[in-house]
Structure 1
Amino acid sequence: MENKLVITIVLYQTEFSQTPSYDYLKSVIMAKSTVYLFIYDNSPKSHEDELFHLKNVRYIHDGANSGLAKAYNGGSQYLTEVQGDLILLLDQDTMLDEKYLDTLLELKLDAAIGAYVPIVISHGRQISPVFSDKYIGAGSDLPKVGVYSEKIMCINSGTALPKSTLDSMGAFNLAFPLDFLDHWLFWKIHQLNKKISVLEFHLGHDLSVLDYRMISSKRYESIIQGETLFYKNYDQDKFDSHRRHLLLRMVKQFLRVKNRKIWRRTFSEYRSLMKGK
């Protein structure tokens, strides 16, 4: 018997029909009664789509742009309503693999596993999962296919969480509306003494925050606030490493990033954290 799966996809200034997985998701929703779709739209204006009127699809518009955590909490509630087994988190830029979805539907769920994740590729390199026992940087070690009890961090998109994990951890942390919610999620899973299963599938994802030359000052503000909150209040043993990393990052940004607000913001965060030392 197939698992009952809720796919939660978060939109921002993009219509659902323009997402790379739309045609595939449309065919799946039409064909499978065990697959549900929860669409959370953070765009300023709502939009219509023929799929929004299907019984196994729910569309929510949030013009206030409340972010990912609130969207995922909505998806979790929907999972409870339909008595589902798994929730699959999906960004609008992620290309969903047919074989990956089939694997999730056919999984024999293990109570010891806190999350099932694919290997995610962006611009030709693996960005997720990564080992997070040390401060995550460009040289971080990368897990292969297998089951791990070690500390691992994965990006949200592509992650499948069993209902038992959601029940154990409670709600997604609203203190991380966008950035570093993934760090908090996998930190929390490790705190619950649950393992991570890395599945033998690759998903493509366009992660724009990899390049500081391509992000806005507003988005960088979200990133740096999320970082400080995470290392100061949660993964505290890496807080000193984070402060040192900020200084190194500031130097690189000064040399490479045209937007001067970026390196100045990094430096101000570094000074602030040093004052609190």
Structure 2
Amino acid sequence: MRNKLVITIVLYQTEFSKTPSYEYFKKIAMEKNPVNLFVYDNSDNAQEDELFKLENVLYIHDETNPGLAKAYNAGANYLLDIQGDLLLLLDQDTQLNTMYLDAVLDLKLEEDIGAYVPIISSHGRQISPLFSDEYIGRKSKLPKADVYSERIMSINSGTVLPRTTLTELGSFNEDFPLDFLDHWLFWKIHQLNKKISVLDHHLTHDLSVLDYKKISFKRYESILRSETLFYQKYDQSLFYRHRKHLLLRTIKQFLQVKNRKIWRRTFSEYQVLMKGK
């Protein structure tokens, strides 16, 4: 028997019908698959779509835009309500495909595996998953398809979580409404002594935060605050590495980034952490 799956997709200022996976969603929603769609819309205005009328699709609009954590918690609760087996997290910019979905539906679930993740690329290079026992950066090592007990971090989108993991997590940490929620999630899964299964399937995702030309100062501010919270309160073993990295990042941004507010904000964060030795 195939796994009962809930796909939780979070929207922001984007029409559901214009997401990369919409036609695929439409196909699977209208077929007799053990798949439910949970669409959480953080946009200013609610939207309508023919799929929202289907029994296996639930649409929620939240104009307060609480980010990802609250949406994922709602998706997890929906999974528990319908007694689903797996929760697939999906951003609006990720392209889902038949091979990956079939692999997820046919997974043989094991108690010691806390998450199943695909290999994800953005603009031609692998961005996820990464080994995270050391401070994550451009030189981080990339795991191949296998099962790992070592620390691994994967982006939220594409991640599949068994119901047992969701139960042990309790809830997604709403201290990280958007940025660094993925870091916290995989740090927490490791704390639960769970393994990570990297599946031999590839997805593409447009990760705009990789490009300082596209990122807004407001979003960069959010990333910095979340980074500091994560390393100060959770992954404390890498706090001093993070502080050193902020100084190196400041220098690089000073030389390469036109938006001067960004390097100044990075340096101010470094100064604050130095004062709080």
TM range (shorter): over 0.9
Shift of 1:126: 0.5
2:171 is the alignment partner of 1:171:
yes
Aligned-partner SS, 1:214: coil
Shift of 1:84: 0.1
Counterpart amino acid of residue 56 in structure 1: N
Shift of 1:33: 3.9
Alpha-carbon distance in structure 2 between the residues aligned to 1:106 and 1:206: 27
Match of 2:99 in 1: 99
| TM-score, normalised by the number of residues in structure 2 | 0.99
| TM-score, normalised by the number of residues in structure 1 | 0.99
Shift of 1:188: 0.3
Match of 1:56 in 2: 56
2:136 is the alignment partner of 1:132:
no
Counterpart amino acid of residue 188 in structure 1: K
**Segment drifting more, 248-257 vs 124-133:** 248-257
Match of 1:215 in 2: 215
Alpha-carbon distance in structure 1 between the residues aligned to 2:259 and 2:4: 46
Q: Percent identity between the aligned chains?
A: 71
Match of 1:143 in 2: 143
Shift of 1:152: 0.3
Match of 1:204 in 2: 204
Structure 1, unmatched stretches of 5+, are: none
Counterpart amino acid of residue 118 in structure 1: P
Match of 1:22 in 2: 22
Match of 1:242 in 2: 242
Shift of 1:214: 1.7
CA deviations on 1:16-59 (whole Å, 9 max, x unpaired) are: 00000000011001103410000001111111000011111110
CA deviations on 1:90-135 (whole Å, 9 max, x unpaired) are: 0000000210000110111001100000000001000000000000
CA deviations on 1:113-166 (whole Å, 9 max, x unpaired) are: 000000000010000000000000100000000000000000000000000000
Aligned-partner SS, 1:161: strand
Aligned-partner SS, 2:59: strand
Aligned-partner SS, 2:174: coil
Shift of 1:213: 2.5
Alpha-carbon distance in structure 2 between the residues aligned to 1:141 and 1:258: 30
Counterpart amino acid of residue 4 in structure 2: K
Alpha-carbon distance in structure 2 between the residues aligned to 1:149 and 1:33: 32
Counterpart amino acid of residue 171 in structure 1: S
Shift of 1:256: 1.2
Aligned-partner SS, 1:6: strand
**Segment drifting more, 178-187 vs 31-40:** 31-40
User: Structure 1 runs of 4+ off > 6 angstroms?
Assistant: none
The count of aligned residue pairs is 277
Structure 2, unmatched stretches of 5+, are: none
Match of 2:108 in 1: 108
**Segment drifting more, 250-259 vs 224-233:** 250-259
Alpha-carbon distance in structure 2 between the residues aligned to 1:238 and 1:125: 25
Alpha-carbon distance in structure 2 between the residues aligned to 1:44 and 1:261: 28
